[in-house]
Each structure stands twice: as structure tokens, then as C-alpha cells.
Amino acid sequence: MNKKYSPLFESIQFRRGLQLKNRIVMAPMTNFSSDADGFVTDEEVNYYRRRSHGVGMVVTACTNVSANGKGFPGEFAGDRDEIIPSLQKLASAIKEEGSTAILQIFHGGRMCPPELVPNKDIVSANAVPAEQGDEQGPVPRALTGQEVEQIIRDFGETTRRAIEAGFDGVEIHGANGYLIQQFFSPHSNRREDQWGGSLEKRMNFPLAVIDEVKRVVDTQAKNPFIVGYRFSPEEPTLPGITMADTLELVDQLADKELDYLHISLMEFDSAPRRGVEDTRSRLDLVLEKVSNRVPVIGVGSIQTADDALKALETAPLIALGRQLIIDPDWVRKIVEGRESEIDTLLDLEGQDRLVVPNPLWNAIVNSPGWFPGVK
């Protein structure tokens, strides 16, 4: 290996005692490949196994904590105990390849397709539809206070299942417009109870979910088990989350004794839209606010070894998403001194070699511009 890339392979230890062998994380990516009942398929297991041998940590695709939280077709479930053996297959495949296995847990809220939830009863903080381009999504039903409390408990129960299935941790998915973000957003949360209204009250749901997950970990986990949190820094909608809002949330998150924060970005060095008068990147602003209280994972269009090295100058951990689908041997090639051989364009004839399940492959090749090389 070229010595200049050695910083990518330094170990890092989290607050709860778990150590990663390097600074490279597989980002969570939906793959649409579980069966209709939410059980993990062999295709999914093989897909994760193919990508787990080099990275320090794998964060899985999101799994729904409640029956009415399913956000995608082909999503594996985490909302009932019968699913534990299915999750165990996934955790084992990742860990057998030498990586740390993290289960991402979420509730889709108003972003759930009605046909995927019981009685087509989609829910959110308020009865406010999502803006989807020039159109609006279906109108959700506002959750009652009792239902809010139940979903918080559901996050805890799915964390227990992750522990029993042999995962090394969970990542709470508070990003990408799903329910946790819906409670934080002034667009979707217009409540007048303890769960909404002011900026401080809009933080109550995400912080309560974190507290419940940590409680379960503290009482149920016998081995080191880490807790991370993913967030999106801004929303394009008006009203919506601004960079200033997020920095207030990040300040609270950094005091929650989490193992890491994971920022959701399409571009690693993207600048804020609104809320702050600052030309620095969103990630730089977040890191300044965190002030070394918790490690931050940066993500966004990292393709080459040099891209990763540059990103590591800013964030202590970096996540690769699409790049690990394009080249599952990304880490191995750097270790073997073959970084010049890293593929940065998707081989449209390489599905079998890349071990990508049909539903995910079809989604990629039918979405021009999503992946480099797909026109």
C-alpha cells in the first residue's frame, strides 16, 4: 500500500468500547430486495457479504420499527420478533467478512407508500403532505400523543432485536425526510403539544428516540453495542429545516453520548442554503459545532482514494455508498497498491460480478444520472 493512504486505515474506538479497523464505512443504501414479508433474502446476504470484507463498518439499509413505517418495497423488517433469525443472517454475513455490522432503524412516516402500510394509514407529526417536485404526496394522519409514545418504544424494541440478532450497533435514521426528521421540520410538524411548536419542542421526538434506544442498549446489550444518529442538514421546502436549525439540533446530539453522528449529503463539501451567513461547507459547520464531542461520518460523492484522503482531512470517518456498488473491491485495491485500478463508472455488463440483486440493479440502470456511467 502507498503510505500516503495509511490514514484511511487507522483504527478508531467508539465511546461504548467498540473499535473499527479503519475509517471507511459502507453507507446505508436501500436495495429493494427482501421478500414481501420483510425477510432478508439470500441475494441481499450475498450483496452485503461481497462489500463487507474491506470496510471498517457496514451500515445496512433502513429497517422499519413499526408496521406502519415501511418506506420501500423490498425493505427488510425489524418490527416483530419473528424477524430476528432473518436479521441474524445479515449480521453474520457482514461480521464473517471482518466488518462491524450496524442496523439502521427508522420509520418512514408520511414518506411511506400507502400500499405498504396496514389499511393505507400513513402517519406523520401533522396532516401535512410531503412536497415531491411539483406535486404533493398523500395527506398523512396526525399521530396521537399515545401513538408517538408507542413509536418511541418501537425504536427501543427494534434495538433489542438488533442486539439479539448479533449486530454491533444501530443507527437511528433521522435524515432524508422520514418520520424523525418530520418531527424536527417546521414544514411537517405544526403540533401544539410537547412534540411540536418551538424549535426546542420539535427536537423532543428525536431526543426521546435516542434516550429510549440508549436505555435498551444499557439494559440489554452484554457486549459493546454502539448507537449512531443520521441527519440531513437542510430541507429545500419553505418552511423547512435550515442550517441554523440543524446546528441547534447537532449541539443537543453532541451531548447525548452517542458513538457517532452521520451527516447525509450528496456532495461532501456542499455549502448551506440558508440560515447562516457563512461560506464554509455544511460539514465544516457541523464539525465546529460538535467540537470533538462525538465522531462525525462524512459522505458524498467520494470516488477515488485521493477523494477519500481529502475528505478525511475534514471528518474522522468517511462513508462510501454508490462507489461500493460500482467497485466492491475499493478498499482491497488501495491495500494492494492498486488504487489506480479503482472503477468509478458502473460496468453495465457486470451485475453478476458485482453481486447486485435484480431489484436494485433495475432501479440503478433505469435511473439515468444516479450512478456514474448510467445514461
Return the HEC string of the chain: CCHHHHHHHCCEECCCCCEECCCEEECCCCCCCCCCCCCCCHHHHHHHHHHCCCCCEEEEEEEECCHHHCCCCCCCECCCHHHHHHHHHHHHHHHHCCCEEEEEEECCHHHCCHHHCHHHCCEECCCCCCEECCEECCCCEECCHHHHHHHHHHHHHHHHHHHHCCCCEEEEEECCCCHHHHHHCCCCCCCCCCCCCCHHHHCHHHHHHHHHHHHHHHHHCCCCCEEEEEECCCCCCCCCCCHHHHHHHHHHHHCCCCCEEEECCCCCCCCCCCCCCCCCCHHHHHHHHHCCCCCEEEECCCCCHHHHHHHHCCCCEEEECHHHHHCCCHHHHHHCCCHHHCCCCCCCCCHHHHCCCHHHHHHHHCCCCCCCCCC
Domain count, the chain: 1
Tell me, yes or no, if the pTM score tops 0.95: yes
pLDDT of 133 > 90? The answer is no
The tens digit of pLDDT for each residue in 144-199 reads 999 999 999 999 999 999 999 999 999 999 999 999 999 999 999 999 999 998 99
pLDDT for res 277:
86
pLDDT for res 270:
83
Position 374 in a domain? no
Catalytic machinery residues: 178
What is the domain extent for residue 79?
Answer: 3-365
- As a whole number, the mean pLDDT across the chain is 95
pLDDT of 268 > 80? The answer is no
Position 373 in a domain? no
The tens digit of pLDDT for each residue in 18-48 reads 999 999 999 999 999 999 999 999 999 999 9
pLDDT for res 56:
98
The lowest-confidence range among 160-169, 210-219, 265-274, 281-290 is 265-274
What CATH code is carried by the domain that includes residue 30? 3.20.20.70
